[in-house]
Each structure stands twice: as structure tokens, then as C-alpha cells.
Chains A and B, each alone.
Chain A
Amino acid sequence: MSSAPDTSATAMPKNYLNEKITVSSWLLTLDHKRIAILYLVSLLAFFLIGGLAALVFRVELMTPEADVLRSETYNKFFTTHGIVMIFFFLIPSIPAVLGNFLVPVMIGARDFAFPKINLASWYVFMFGGVLALIATIAGGVETGWTFYTPYSTMYANSNVILAVCGAFIAGFSSIMTGLNFIVTIHKMRAPGLTWFRLPLFIWAMYATALVILLGTPVVAITLVMIFVERAFGFGIFDPALGGDPILFQHLFWFYSHPAVYIMILPAMGVVSELISCFSKRRLYGYRVIVFSSLAIAVIGFFVWGHHMFVSSQSTFAGLTFSFLTFFVAVPTALKMLNWIMTLHKGSVSLASPMLYAFGFLGLFVIGGLTGLFLSTLATDIHLHDTYFVVAHFHYVMVGGGVMGFLGGLHFWWPKITGRMYPEGLAIFAAIVIFIGFNLTFFPQFQLGVHGMPRRYHVYPEEFQVLHIASSTGAMVLGFGYLIMGAYLIWSLKFGKIAGKNPWNARGLEWETDSPPPTHNFHETPVVRHPVYAYEYASETSNEPDVQSEKGHV
């Protein structure tokens, strides 16, 4: 990431990117915006690694027999894909990149409450990430990202300890980020920015930070227990040592289910911003969306046992967790209702970020509804551990989480880099990604219903046609990401200068320069209106809205 030094007349004024351009000014920066860029570059590298691993095993799965990989290697590839994508891409994605960049700017602050902790979080994250990568390169890991015991502790012949250490350490980076979010949102809001004037992205970050702070320590201690049993033979999970393997599943899912909300709540926050901007009005049911985020964060802690309906937990536990799980569906559905009602009588523009928001809505509605088959006890027993589950969580995590991330990245790209990307190509890439995604994962529902178990290297022949469709889709999806990467990099140097507010959006981040100056604002903004004040020229001005002629897409 360079400062795009430009000698032409369009050279950028002084901002956070070009103020200092030495390597040490990046590696020792305390500026939340630069830390966001550090995260962005590292996360995209992890995304590439995780994505390539997926492409390799999708190629393998085009035939029922083993042809490209041996079983042991296949298992290492799907494990790498899972560990890298979950712990080193999806969990940090929106909070660490967009949240890091935007939280202080959106609330009118100069930086986070603890800038040094913010920088430390990146180093901790990279340390964990590098450990996990070493584990996968030097011998590999083949436990699956779920590390189920006693397989992971006593039977796996691979670098489990190193991978567990990587995930353990990365968890602390999440905790630091979450802590910074909560303190900053509580203490550093601009004058006039009351709680119910906060943009929904900020509310989503706040709810996410709560889940991170409450959940991550539990997975950390669980990973330590794996370490202790595997390294020293302390009996915790292995029945041969007097342990209980189901205990592991309880502890693991106590974090890892809420982690699903760590991955999806931020995307919901992004989508709220996009839908508001590209319908040009305040969101329908703003407060309902706020409280639904908080409700999801809270209820999300009481449903972990729905991952264990066939694990031999008691019948009563199965009933309880199934019952509670249905309650998560209600706040989620209310969000969908509010988003759709915002379009009603709005002024809807289909700019590229909005296409990603629509992609999110279309895919998440399928991801959410297919969750009902899995929260219902009798149907889950059949579908559990099949491709149906794989399809369901990719619709939620990729269709929801990644689409939200990409929508946000496009929306705030001009703010982050100061330049626009080519809109036509962006629309094309969004469509390719949407088609590729559906082609990859929709056939997997059918595979799962027909009984195809997940994590299978070889499989009965009747499943082949659908596997070929899925693998073809994965290539289309990869091609879509490639186009996107290419034009985004191109735009860093050749993109049109964006100006302060290219989308004519509301929110404090659009009132400062693009890219913002190092201290975000030239003077502290004072908020005068409720959030999404499209009837005014901006949140801080009493001027009525006048349509600026500049660069509206």
C-alpha cells in the first residue's frame, strides 16, 4: 500500500496515507486508519490462502475417486481452509478492517481510546497467524477446524499444538479490538452524538465487541486444555484417560456458536449503512434493528447445544437448545423486514455497493431459512454433518459475512483510498461472484439431503454430478474475486479522485476529507440531527439537503 504519489494536478492533499511514507511509520503507526490497512493487507493474504486451499479440494472432488490428493493431504487442505478462513479471515474481517478504520471516524473521534493496544492487536494477530501457517506448511493439520477430541488430542499425527497455539494467540487480538471498540464507543462520541443517533454499523460493532469479550476467553481456555492433554497427557477429554469428549464440544461451541454472530453481526451493520445510503433515507425501524443486534448477541450465547443434537447429549438438552435456537430467528427476521421496508418508498440506486447488499439479502435469506431445518430436531438428525450443513453455513458466512465485507469495502473504498474504482467492472464482478457462489453452494443442499457426509475425500458415484457443479461454481467464484482484486489495486493509482462524499451519504465519515487527515477531522464535529439525516445537507449542518452535482453515481 503506497501513498500513490502523484505529480499531476490531482495530487492528494495531506492525509493519513501520504503524511509519512517510511516503512517504520507504517509498522509503528498508532493511527487506527493505518492499522486498518495493515489488517486489510494481511487478511486478504489469509483469504487468498484459504481460498486456494478450497479450490484445490474442490478440484479433487470433481471425481468420486482420489486423484489429485491422498486422503491425508485432502484432510489437511479442508482443515487449512477452515482454520484460516474462520480464525484468520472471517472473525477479524469487518471489525479489524472496516471497524478499525470507521469506528473513530463515524463517531467523530480522533482515534481509539487505546491506540497502542490497537497496534499490539495487529502484531498479536500476525504472530498467531504465522504460527498457524507454519503448522500448515510444516507437516499440516488434519483435525478439521473444530479440533474434536479425542481425535485432536490423542490420535491426530500432525501439528495440532502449533495450530491450536495460533488460534489461541489470535483470540487475544480479538479481545483487544473488542475492548477498544466498547470503551471508545462509550467515551469518545462527538458532542450531540447520542446513543440513538449512532449509525447502525457502530451498534453492530458494539454488539460484536460484547460477544468477543464474553466468548473468546472460553475458547482460549478450551484450546489450552487441548494443549495440556495432547502435550502432557492430562486426562480432560479422552475417556481412556478418564476424560469426557462431549465436554470439549460444549466448551468449543460455547464460543464457536457466538462466533457465528461475531462474523455476521458486522455484516448486518454494513448492510444497514448501504441500504440507508442507496435508498436515501433513514432506516425503517432503526431502534428495532439496534435491539435485534443486541438480542442476537445475547440469545446467541444460549444455543450452542444445537451443534450437538446427535452427540449423545441428553434428550432434555436437545429439546432445550432446539427451542432456544428458534428465538434467534425472530430478531434476524425483523432485520430483514426493516431492510426491505426501507426500500419501500425510498429512492433506490443500484450502485455496486448496493449490489453486494442485495447479494447479502438474497443469500442470507436462504442461509437463515435453511437454518430452520437444522434447528428442528428430527430434520437435523438426518442433515447433521452432511453437505447441507456445509451449504447452510457458507450461505451465512460467505453469502452473509463476505458479501457484507465486500459491500463495505466498496462503499468506503473512496474514503479509505481517496479514489473510485471502475463502477462497470465492479458491477460485473459482483454479478460473477453472486452466480459463482450460488453455483458452488446451492447443489450442496441437495447433496446433503441425499446423505452426502461432509469431509469426505472419496464418495459414492451418484453424488458426482452435483459435485462437478459445485466445483465449477468455485472456479467462477474465484474468477469473480480475481477481477475484484485487480480493479481495486488498479484504482489505487489510476482511480478517479473521489472527493469527500461520492455517494452523497450521511454520516460523519463523509464530512471529512477522502482520505481523512491523520487526526480525522480538522475540527471536532457537532452532531445536530438524528442519524441518516437525508433531509439535511449533513448531520452537522442545519442547511437543507441540496443535491451536489459532484460524482453521484
Chain B
Amino acid sequence: MNLLFDLLPVQATEYAKQVDALYLFILAISAFFTLLFVGLLVGFTLKYRRRTQDERPEPPHEHYTLELVGGAVLLALLMGMFFWGAKLYFKAQRPPADAMEVLVSGKQWMWKLQHPSGKKEINTLHIPLGKAVKLSMTSEDVIHSFFIPAFRVKNDVLPGRYTQVWFKPEQEGTFHLFCAEYCGTEHSRMIGYVRVLSQEAYDRWTMNLGDADETPVQAGGRLFAELGCIACHRPDAGALGPDLTGVFGHEVALSDGTTLIADDNYLRESILNPQAKLVAGYAPIMPTFQGSVNEEQLAQLITYIKSLSN
């Protein structure tokens, strides 16, 4: 990559190419208007430069045709940008259903990552070529931001909730991973790499489990039993809590008469603050698990509950 001559950074996803097309469109419009404006500025200044001190130019006539036409043309161009940008934004907001989920936890000043196989790593994310990957991210302290320039994706990583980015790499190689939200002393060292491997190489890498001996789903299932969740959240009729099979991603009726779609953040809230949005028909008896589970365990529990909906 040569920053002096390359207009754009490496495009390692199809989405990056689409964002760049929009970028070039706005760049062309900007360049056109800059040149037009500076051209008129220089042209008028030369043509109408003051030649004698007693020149007395006519005051301009007030008419608004130029203003209206100019404003309308501009607005049309701007709306074009808006809709184009919004369309891509929707795409960035919606990971495909079959995306592989990697858990990400940011903390001052490192990225902790865990793969579906249970494999963990820090600051380097290995992913397979050509496969959609969804990151489910949270922070253990302050706000961070997960930024991969080559994929044109970025999202803040917040304490106390989950955010997502997703991408589908189409080029093998090593790309920068940056923390983009200022997070304290070593902010500029909270960086790493994304390594895109062939599917085969990824499988080989991820099977080499190292210290991890269970997948997040397995760990979540174990916690689900150990913490006693299973005592109430059972499929049979006498259960004290709602059965969690098929809950994730579906509508839930709440005791206050409203409904919502159960997502990561709802599951998280229901574990840490169970009474906040109580499911209709159940008594408010569940204790909070705030303090009994750490971020990693919480993410594993949620991954397990999500697996009950597959």
C-alpha cells in the first residue's frame, strides 16, 4: 500500500468495493464543485479586478431563480448520496443468518476473541476466506471501537451491551485491526491483525484448541446447569420460568402488555436485571446474576441460549 499514490486502501470484501464506489461518487461531485467554485473565484477576480479607484459597480439585482435552481439541484444530489449510503448501511447492519459468530471482548488495552470452536486468541483474529463472520462485541471497561479498514467496517464496543459488525472476506492476507475510540493511555497500542486464511488452513488452525477444551455453546450449557438456570427454565408445564427453546430471535410477550424480539441485549438484560422486562405469565422471582457471572461467561450463556433456537 502506498499512501501517496493509492486513492483507496486495499478492498478485502465485496462490501468494501461497494462503499468505495459510493466514496468515489461523492469524491467526483466534491471535486467538480471545488473546481467550479475555485474556477469562478479566480475567473471573477481576474475579470472584475479593480482597475481604478472610482469604479462604481451596479448593485446586484435580487432575483431568486439561480438560488432556487442551485438549491434544488444540490438537494437532488444530496438525496442520492443519502439513499445510496443508507442502502449500504442497512446491509452493514444485517448479518446473514448463517454467519459464523465470534465473541469479542474489549478491555484496556487488548481485544479478546473466542471462536465457535472454543479457540481463544488475543489481538489477532483468524477467519476463513469467503465465509460471513459476525462479531458479537462487548467491553469490560470503557468504550472501544472495532475497526478493520480493509473491510470498511467499524462499530463501537460498549460496556453493558452487545454490538455487532459482520463481513465476508474475499482476499487472503493480513489486515490492520484498530481501536478507533479513544480509550486511555495505551489506546494507540490496542491494535492487532485480521488474518484471512483459506477454509482449510482455518480449520486446521481452529482445531488446534490449545487451552480451550469446550466450545462457547458447551461452556454455556455447563453454566446453565451449574448456575441452576435449568431448574426453572424447563420445557414442562410446571416450570417456574419460560422455556428458552426457540426464544432467541422471536417475539416475546411481556407482563406489561408489550412485546419485543429477543436479541442479545434482551437476553443479557434478563440475566443481569431479570425484573426489567418480565415475560407475561411468570412471577418476578428470578434473582439477578450480576456479579455471579463475568463477561466471558455471560457471552457463553447467551451463545448457549441462542443455540436452543437453531
Contacts and interface: CB of A to CB of B under 8 A. Distances in A.
A46 interface: no
A47 to B, nearest CB: 24
Interface residues of B, number: 87
A462 B156 contact: no
Interface of B: 1, 3-4, 6-9, 18-19, 22-23, 26-27, 29-30, 33-34, 37-38, 40-41, 44-45, 48-50, 53-60, 62, 64, 66-67, 70-71, 74-75, 78-79, 81-82, 84-90, 92-93, 108, 141-143, 145, 147, 149-150, 152-156, 158-161, 163, 176, 178-189, 191
A93 interface: no
Interface string A531-547: 01011000000000101
Given A333-B71, A369-B30, A326 B82 contact: yes
Interface string A319-333: 100110010011001
Contacts of A455: 182, 187-188
B158 A376 contact: no
Contacts of B59: 281-282, 532, 534-535
Interface in A298-344: 309-312, 315, 318-319, 322-323, 326, 329-330, 333-334, 336-338, 340-344
Given A378-B87, A385-B145, A463-B3, 14 more contacts: A312-B156, A330-B71, A337-B66, A337-B67, A343-B45, A372-B29, A375-B82, A377-B89, A378-B84, A379-B85, A381-B154, A451-B176, A458-B188, A547-B54
A495 interface: no
B188 A282 contact: no
Q: How big is the A interface, by class?
A: 35 or more
B248 to A, nearest CB: 19
Given A330-B75, A347-B55, A456-B187, A377 B85 contact: yes
B38 to A, nearest CB: 6
B48 A336 contact: no
A466 B41 CA distance: 29
Contact of A281 (B37, B60, B149): B60
B188 A365 contact: no
A286 interface: yes
16 contacts: A71-B188, A238-B159, A245-B158, A286-B62, A322-B89, A344-B48, A345-B57, A346-B44, A347-B57, A348-B50, A381-B152, A450-B1, A450-B9, A451-B9, A455-B182, A535-B56
B8 A449 contact: yes
Contacts of A312: 155-156, 158, 161, 163
Nearest to A288: B67
Nearest to A451: B149
B185 A372 contact: no
Contacts of A244: 160
Binding site of A, secondary structure by majority: helix, strand, loop or mixed? helix
A378 B3 contact: no
A284 interface: yes
Contacts of B154: 310, 381-382, 384-385
Interface of A: 71-72, 75, 142, 144, 148, 150-151, 154-156, 238-240, 244-246, 279-288, 309-312, 315, 318-319, 322-323, 326, 329-330, 333-334, 336-338, 340-350, 358, 361-362, 365-366, 369-370, 372-373, 375-382, 384-386, 446-447, 449-451, 453-460, 462-463, 465-466, 532, 534-535, 545, 547, 552
A459 B67 contact: no
A340 B182 contact: no
Contact of A545 (B44, B49, B56): B56
B288 to A, nearest CB: 12
Given A148-B143, A312-B156, A466 B78 contact: no
A142 B145 CA distance: 18
A347 B51 CA distance: 8
B188 A456 contact: yes
B143 A334 contact: no
A340 B82 contact: no
A150 B181 CA distance: 12
Contacts of A458: 188-189
> Which of A144, A323, A347 has the most chain B CB atoms inside 10 A of its CB?
A347
A286 B143 CA distance: 46
B265 to A, nearest CB: 9
A286 B64 CA distance: 11
A318 B163 CA distance: 15
B118 to A, nearest CB: 27
Contacts of A281: 57-60
A148 B139 CA distance: 15
B92 A151 contact: no
Given A340-B44, A341-B66, A362-B38, A451 B161 contact: no
Contacts of B30: 369-370, 372-373
A361 B37 contact: yes
B50 A343 contact: no
A381 B57 contact: no
Nearest to B87: A378
A323 to B, nearest CB: 6
Contact of A462 (B1, B41, B50, B86): B1
Tell which of B38, B66, B181, B182 has the most Cβ of chain A within 10 Å: B182
Given A333-B70, A451-B9, A322 B48 contact: no
A245 B64 CA distance: 46
Contacts of A280: 50, 55-57
A462 B59 CA distance: 54
